[in-house]
Structure 1
Amino acid sequence: MYIQKLHLYQFRNHEKISLEFLKGPTVFHGLNGSGKTNILEAISLFTVGKGLRSATYDEMGMYENDHRSWDIRLQMGDNDLPSINCSIQYRDKKRSNHIQGNPVQSSKNFNEWITLFWLTCEHDRLFIDSSKARRKFLDRMVFNIDSQHAQNLVAYEKLAKERLTLLENGHFNSSWIESIEQHMNEYAFKIYSSRFKIIEHINIETHELDPIFPKFTLSLTGEYESIYKVNTSEEASKIVKEKWIQSRSIDQQRHMTHFGVHRSDLNVFHHIKGNANQCSTGEQKILLMGLVLSFLSYRMKTDERLILVLLDECLSHFDFRHRMVLFKQIEKFYQSDQYLGSIHVFMTGTDRVAFEPLESFATYHEIGQNI
């Protein structure tokens, strides 16, 4: 399974563009401002969330288009499989999603066949960014494995807001708030478990990385995680519940929830240099790519759905040796029989020459200046 065709209409700077792909990685190359990342953004909308830029739908329409309406159509399949057509339309401030021409409830329906993961220039700062950015990055990986994870996060956040509203209205000891905290406890454990599981598996996959990548270990850190590290699940659940009871007063005073899985952090530890935020910019980018490759290896070994991988300006800070290792691993994803799932990698860069080692099995598209 792979993406065969992509059509954009009045999306960002692309008035109308139709692209066809072969089975293999795809490279979009061209000048800065030509709209390479805009194409990746369009693809990134075929999953839960707002895409790789987290933009509003109005912002995605062409500037010259007063109505800000746009269309995206995507066809996927394989030589021996019937094609699956997916589309997204934005009209009159409303988004609609379709599969085989039939409307579906949400973008989550696309995930029956495909999942998405992306790496953009913004992620170059991931290890020195906020813990929120790292949680979001971690949760994007979890979404690719656990389809319920997004719903668990939404449910937990909704309950946390309801609890805070009750506290601000003076309901400190009601059965209502006790019920909310009990449900928060249940969702928090599901979220923690999914995050912890994927981190464990990624740590195992790092042992298969090419030696050019530094050795590193991932871990979940935070007060919530610390409780589960030193207690049984049953004991930890009771402690967590008591923590929320004890923090009601301070949460009410400061208008925020001080404890829970919404304050967890992803720690990356370089075995020689320590925490990733102490590494140089180039070292951080290499660590990040090693993390992503390890995640993709685990995902493809355990899930048969197609994963679309969007790598925006992925070669920045990479020397020739690291580029060659990256390309070698991408080739392995396509050709090795150890993987259960399939993959379609989309990459962008200004210079086609940098991607020439992929020439034997990649599709190249030069994106013209159109702004």
Structure 2
Amino acid sequence: MTKLALSQVTLSHFRSHKRAVLDLAPRPMAIYGPNGAGKTNIIEAISLLSPGRGLRRAGADDLARRPEALGWKISAILQSLHQTHELETWAEPGSPRQLRIDGKAAPQVALGRIARVLWLVPSMDRLWIEAADGRRRFLDRATLSFEPTHADAVLTYEKAMRERNRLLKDMVRDPHWYAAIEAQMAEAATQITTNRNRAIDELAAAQTAAVTAFPTAALTLTYPDPLPDDLQTALADYRSRDMAAGRTLLGPHRADLEAVFADKGINARDCSTGEQKALLISLILANARALAQDFGAPPILLLDEVAAHLDATRRAALYDEICALGAQAFMTGTGPELFTELGSRAQYAEVTEEQGLSSVQRKDMI
């Protein structure tokens, strides 16, 4: 299968890493070490090789190593299908993140055209029982993996909605102020909803077609109020209600992602902690399988503390699926014993920390 893989990643003044260089093979990598050593910082850096703010959603200034705060930089060599790309992303103090691809300045959306990166982090373990905005972000990340322009549609919609909300709060009643904004919102909303529904269909098909040790999650989009076919007219009709609330109450920004443990018919929010984790892993694997077909290569996977809540049998099943998929997966854990089932199929690195400085050492097979 055609590969999507990093052959080298270099971190400079990033989080706890003053400098770290990882020379990589196109196969899974297990990164282990004690809590706080800097393992997650490595995969956060890799997550910034995709559009957006990375797996922690941190601001550019928050990524710089302290106390120096000199700014930070991530460099990488990416094999994407049949091409090799040099990637550089960085930020100077007080400045936004910048990106170069093959030596040329590029917008972040360009990363989505040459790479696909998926992640699962411990903060997502509560995805099914917390607020809807986290589930929307989860769905939008999956959607972005299939359609890189999805981010543009979301940004366009949110910008227009903020402008409409300002008019509502200022009690502006003249319809001429709203017409163009609501037309823009409606157009973007159509694209957002189409993209999200496509992603749900892709995930459903990938789950149905697979033989896997992980449960199937049936997904649906829900709304407090049904999303009308003609959103522009509905927004005009809802102005009085929205003005009373001081914000827009109808649109794709109100969507929620509902998941049901298909074999048991139980909503994900009512499942056990272990079942909720298994459902998340199932969706990440389904996303990866679908992308292997859609993009032409499996995505890069970032799985932080992935062994949590998994017994040895299910842990082995996860590693088998990752290897069968052919994905370059970066997995973190507190000790090498969590990756025993991977054996020679993986590469290994130990991360240690002393006086706030992380170091990375490659290891032979554990």
| Greater CA drift, 13-22 or 134-143 | 13-22
In structure 2, distance between residues paired with 1:147 and 1:347: 25
Aligned to 2:179: 178
What amino acid maps onto 1:19 in structure 2? L
Number of residue pairs matched by the alignment: 350
What amino acid maps onto 1:18 in structure 2? V
Q: Deviations over 1:18-65 (max 9, x none)?
A: 111112111111111110000011111112211111112222111121
Q: Deviations over 1:120-176 (max 9, x none)?
A: 000100000110000000000111111110000010111111122223334334233
Aligned to 2:7: 4
The Cα of 1:306 is off from its aligned counterpart by 6.2
**Which of 54, 57, 64 is matched with 1:54 structurally?**
57
Is the CA contact (8 Å cut-off) linking 1:47 and 1:111 kept in structure 2? yes
Q: Which runs of 5+ in 2 are unaligned?
A: 357-366
| Greater CA drift, 120-129 or 250-259 | 250-259
| Greater CA drift, 81-90 or 17-26 | 81-90
In structure 1, distance between residues paired with 2:213 and 2:98: 45
Structure 1 residues 255 and 212: alpha-carbon distance in aligned structure 2, compared to 1, 3 A threshold: same
Q: Which runs of 5+ in 1 are unaligned?
A: 228-235, 335-342
Aligned residue for 1:360, secondary structure, equals helix
Matched, 1:268 2:270: no
Aligned to 1:192: 193
Aligned to 2:318: 326
In structure 1, distance between residues paired with 2:7 and 2:41: 18
TM-score normalised to the size of structure 2?
0.90
In structure 2, distance between residues paired with 1:282 and 1:360: 28
Aligned to 2:309: 317
**Which of 30, 55, 68 is matched with 2:33 structurally?**
30
The Cα RMSD (Å) is 1.9
Aligned to 2:360: none
Aligned to 1:212: 213
In structure 1, distance between residues paired with 2:297 and 2:316: 27
Mapping of residues 110-125 of structure 1, within 5 Å: 110-125=111-126
The Cα of 1:223 is off from its aligned counterpart by 4.5
**Which of 250, 255, 262 is matched with 2:246 structurally?**
255
What amino acid maps onto 1:322 in structure 2? R
Aligned residue for 2:127, secondary structure, equals helix
Is the CA contact (8 Å cut-off) linking 2:27 and 2:329 kept in structure 1? yes
What amino acid maps onto 1:106 in structure 2? P
The Cα of 1:307 is off from its aligned counterpart by 2.3
In structure 1, distance between residues paired with 2:106 and 2:343: 40
Structure 1 residues 55 and 216: alpha-carbon distance in aligned structure 2, compared to 1, 3 A threshold: closer
The Cα of 1:243 is off from its aligned counterpart by 2.6
Mapping of residues 1-371 of structure 1, within 5 Å: 1=3, 2-65=5-68, 67-77=69-79, 83-94=84-95, 95-100=97-102, 102-210=103-211, 212-223=213-224, 226-227=226-227, 236-238=228-230, 240-271=231-262, 272-304=264-296, 307-334=299-326, 343-370=327-354, 371=356
The Cα of 1:332 is off from its aligned counterpart by 1.2
In structure 1, distance between residues paired with 2:232 and 2:111: 37
In structure 1, distance between residues paired with 2:232 and 2:115: 37
Structure 1 residues 88 and 27: alpha-carbon distance in aligned structure 2, compared to 1, 3 A threshold: same
The Cα of 1:345 is off from its aligned counterpart by 1.0
In structure 1, distance between residues paired with 2:178 and 2:256: 27
Aligned residue for 1:368, secondary structure, equals strand
The Cα of 1:189 is off from its aligned counterpart by 1.1
In structure 1, distance between residues paired with 2:187 and 2:162: 16
The Cα of 1:237 is off from its aligned counterpart by 2.5
The Cα of 1:91 is off from its aligned counterpart by 1.8
What amino acid maps onto 1:270 in structure 2? F
Aligned residue for 1:172, secondary structure, equals coil
Is the CA contact (8 Å cut-off) linking 1:27 and 1:365 kept in structure 2? yes
Is the CA contact (8 Å cut-off) linking 2:168 and 2:247 kept in structure 1? no
What amino acid maps onto 1:86 in structure 2? L
What amino acid maps onto 1:22 in structure 2? A
Is the CA contact (8 Å cut-off) linking 1:112 and 1:305 kept in structure 2? no
The Cα of 1:273 is off from its aligned counterpart by 4.6
| Greater CA drift, 346-355 or 83-92 | 83-92
What amino acid maps onto 2:51 in structure 1? V
The Cα of 1:89 is off from its aligned counterpart by 2.3
What amino acid maps onto 1:254 in structure 2? A
In structure 2, distance between residues paired with 1:304 and 1:131: 32
Structure 1 residues 82 and 254: alpha-carbon distance in aligned structure 2, compared to 1, 3 A threshold: closer
Sequence identity percentage: 30
In structure 2, distance between residues paired with 1:109 and 1:258: 32
